[in-house]
Amino acid sequence: MDEDTRALGILPPTHSPRATEYVPQMLDLIAKLEKKGLAYKAADGDVNYSVHAFKGYGKLSGKSLDDLRAGERVDVNTGKRDPLDFVLWKASKESEPEEVKWPSKWGIGRPGWHIECSAMACALLGEQFDIHGGGADLQFPHHENEIAQSEGAHDKTFVNYWMHNGFVRVDNEKMSKSLGNFFTIRDVLKKYDAEVVRFFILRAHYRSPLNYSDVHLDDAKQALTRLYTALKEVAPDGKALDKSEPHAARFAEAMDDDFNTPLAIAVLFDLANEINKTKSAELARQLIALAGIIGLLQRDPRDFLQGVPVSLTGVAAQGEVGSVSPSMRSLTGVEALGAVEELIAERIIAKKAKNFALADRIRADLLQQGIILEDKPSGRTEWRRA
């Protein structure tokens, strides 16, 4: 996972806590809840959270306890006072392995599914923090239960902003192993440049479903090529981002509105169009600086256009794995790049010798391999991938 997130240019987390290292904090939290009348030990030995005792239950998912109870069946064997009460501490069965047994004042057991998040978040981020993320499927009951636990214990707002991301869909169907349309980041990176994948993800709003298809990836590649092409001929002026410039203001406004990356990226295209018309070095600087905020357009435009793999300088330095995944290395192959340069040199010699048939054949051969040659007025020949 670390290698794959690094490949996409995602910064590593500051903390990666393990639930098993926070059992004492979980037990403290449960004890607090019990003391406040929000938790009780049931006849079956489990310690449960009493949802009706917490006034705000259902506020995140926008449901009342009655709505939520409809459809729930009361299982008389659980010892729960309410079918929506959830387990904070699960009593161990004799048969369970020793490594999932911890002592507690309620008996030997293991933590429930929800308490670990409240305990770890509180230990590392405090009783109140700004942003909590997670998949849309976790909103209920998991995040609702986190709120009940944390706010019940600490009497303050747990999280200021909840960010729930949509699911990945493949050709408009849910991605799942059983449907056979399941693949990994590594599979995708064999076919597509990591920055193209990142761009594709950011072009959708994080709350909406992300529809994966090769058509969309190809389209993302074309779009990113347009941005890099605008930067190919115009060098930035080297100054810092001007935040008061109109494009920068619109970009900030879009990002301040619940991370509206599709709108922010639309601003980048406006900038690219302006650069194509005006060849403005100031606007080139603005484009690179704004795109850099969302981790895009930080490579030499020629490298991107020629298909040189993304180099994740700085990010990769923190890990032991190389900056480019092996799959990507074989995709573009530095040897292959050298061969292109050699053929270009051969073609220039052929042209000088007025052997235009050979020059044309080299161009046609390269085109067949997806490489487009561009003869510049200066006499230089540049190339890019189709």
In angstroms, rounded to a whole number, what is the distance separating the alpha carbons of residues 183 and 110? Answer: 34
Closest by CA position to 124, among listed 218, 16, 35, 197: 16
CB of 168 to Zn ion, least distance (A): 20
Neighbours of 16 (CB within 10 A): 8
CB of 132 to Zn ion, least distance (A): 8
| Nearer Cβ to Zn ion (163/353) | 163
Provide the edge-to-edge strand list for the sheet that holds 86-91.
39-41, 47-49, 86-91, 109-111
Which position's Cβ is nearest Zn ion? 117
CB of 105 to Zn ion, least distance (A): 25
In the chain, how long is the greatest CA-to-CA distance?
95
CB of 6 to Zn ion, least distance (A): 23
| Nearer Cβ to Zn ion (162/183) | 162
Contact predicate 226/342, CB 8 Å = no
| Nearer Cβ to Zn ion (133/246) | 133
| Nearer Cβ to Zn ion (150/261) | 150
Under 8 Å CB-to-CB from 135, ≥6 apart: which residues? Answer: 164, 165, 167
Residue 197 CB-density burial (10 A; 0-12 exposed, 13-18 middle, 19+ buried): buried
Helices 261-278 and 214-232: angle between axes, nearest 10 degrees: 40
Looking only at the bridges linking them, the beta strands covering 168-170 and 381-385 are: unpaired
CB of 139 to Zn ion, least distance (A): 11
Contact predicate 7/328, CB 8 Å = yes
CB of 111 to Zn ion, least distance (A): 12
CB-side exposure of 97: number of CA atoms within 13 Å?
A: 2
| Nearer Cβ to Zn ion (117/231) | 117
Closest by CA position to 154, among listed 41, 302, 321, 25: 25
List of residues contacting Zn ion (CB under 5 A)? 117
| Nearer Cβ to Zn ion (138/266) | 138
| Nearer Cβ to Zn ion (119/373) | 119
Closest by CA position to 280, among listed 237, 338, 330: 237
SS3 labels along 211-245: EECHHHHHHHHHHHHHHHHHHHCCCCCCCCCCCCC
| Nearer Cβ to Zn ion (133/292) | 133
CB of 86 to Zn ion, least distance (A): 13
CB of 117 to Zn ion, least distance (A): 3
